Amino acid sequence: MWWLSAVPLWGWALAVGGIVLAVGVWWLWTLRTHRAAPTGPAWRSPALRASQAAVVPPEGPAEVTAPIRRVRAGRLPVPGLGRPMRGWQAAAALAAGLGLVAAGVVGWRVDAAQRAEQQQRDLDAAHDAAYPGILPRSGADLVHALVGAIATAHPERGCFFFAPQAGRDFAASVGADTCEHAIDVLSRQVPGGVRGGIAYQNATGAYVLDASATTDIGGGRKVVDACRVNVDPPTAGPSRFGVFTMQQIGGQGSQVVAFSKCP
């Protein structure tokens, strides 16, 4: 019966409370439906005068009916136990059952909230562990991610690696209120629709940034000058983004923690 130990306390409270509540209802129903009905007086023989002799019919004396015993209300035998039961006992059982059920419901809700919090903590921990692995590792990776988001009009692909303040500064540089809105503004600068987006990605190529555009300033931090992105032909799409400060996380990718406009 090892599984019994796995039942939480609130589960036992609900189970026991339900049983006690059912017993209280049963006792209350018994008290209300099995009260003794009033009985009439027993049959009595008419009084005889001293001068009269009692006449016994041939068939024998008439049967004398004894009065039916009354059971005092509120003290009925408990069905199945044969013990007296009072009204306050049924009321106490009802109160105890309701209290246990209420405690079980509260415990269940508290347990559900705790499990939801734990699940959220697990999801946050999994996100924190996976997030550095999907961040850009170099300035070229950063620019390629921005170009890809702009070319395909998928802002979420170009904003997930921004810290909140850096994302707001990037948005403000193009007159937008959010990073996603900024990517949308830049996407409208790519001519030719879907084909233009493909041409824009091809125009950046592998050497999207010169080696001198990235400066390592120590502590896993580097500054990427993306004010002169190699776009050929230049009319294919935006070629000036700004200056990004990237901070490496967990020895893996880097997050954009600061941004400034091109001079």
Statement to judge: residues 256 and 141 lie in one domain:
yes
Across the chain, mean pLDDT equals: 78
pTM assigned to the model: 0.56
Interval 134-152: pLDDT, tens: 899 999 999 999 999 999 9
80 has pLDDT over 50: no
36 has pLDDT over 50: no
Statement to judge: residues 153 and 246 lie in one domain:
yes
In a domain, 63, yes or no: no
In a domain, 44, yes or no: no
Domain boundary pick from 134, 154, 173: 134
In a domain, 61, yes or no: no
Cα separation, 168 vs 242, in Å, equals 13
Domain boundary pick from 110, 134, 158: 134
In a domain, 197, yes or no: yes
159 has pLDDT over 60: yes
Statement to judge: residues 229 and 172 lie in one domain:
yes
Statement to judge: residues 188 and 201 lie in one domain:
yes
| Of 97 and 57, more confident | 97
DSSP output for 108-167:
HHHHHHHHHHHHHHHHHHHHHHHHHHHS--SHHHHHHHHHHHHHHT-THHHHTTB-HHHH
- When pLDDT is averaged across residues 16-26 and rounded to a whole number, the result is 78
Statement to judge: residues 195 and 126 lie in one domain:
no
Statement to judge: residues 95 and 193 lie in one domain:
no
| Of 169 and 87, more confident | 169
Please state the separation of Cα 13 from the chain's center in Å: 22
- How confident is the model at residue 182, as a pLDDT? 95
Confidence of residue 107 (pLDDT cuts 50, 70, 90): confident
Statement to judge: residues 123 and 149 lie in one domain:
no
Q: How many residues does the chain have?
A: 263
Enclosing domain of residue 13: 8-34+74-134
In a domain, 48, yes or no: no
Domain boundary pick from 114, 134, 154: 134
Statement to judge: residues 14 and 124 lie in one domain:
yes
Cα separation, 170 vs 37, in Å, equals 89
Cα separation, 221 vs 57, in Å, equals 125
In a domain, 188, yes or no: yes
* Residue whose token pair is 């004396």: 61
261 has pLDDT over 90: yes
Of the ranges 23-27, 99-103, 178-182, 259-263, which one carries the lowest mean pLDDT score? 23-27
DSSP output for 14-69:
HHHHHHHHHHHHHHHHHHHH-PPPP-PPPP-PPP--TTPPPPPPTT-SPPPPPPPP
Statement to judge: residues 177 and 103 lie in one domain:
no
CB pairs under 8 A, 24+ apart, for 203-211? 203/231, 203/232, 203/233, 203/236, 203/237, 204/143, 204/144, 204/147, 204/229, 204/230, 204/231, 205/230, 205/232, 208/140, 208/143, 208/144, 208/147, 209/139, 209/140, 209/143
Interval 218-251: pLDDT, tens: 999 999 999 989 888 888 889 999 999 999 998 8
Statement to judge: residues 149 and 179 lie in one domain:
yes
In a domain, 23, yes or no: yes
Domain total in the chain: 2
Statement to judge: residues 125 and 146 lie in one domain:
no
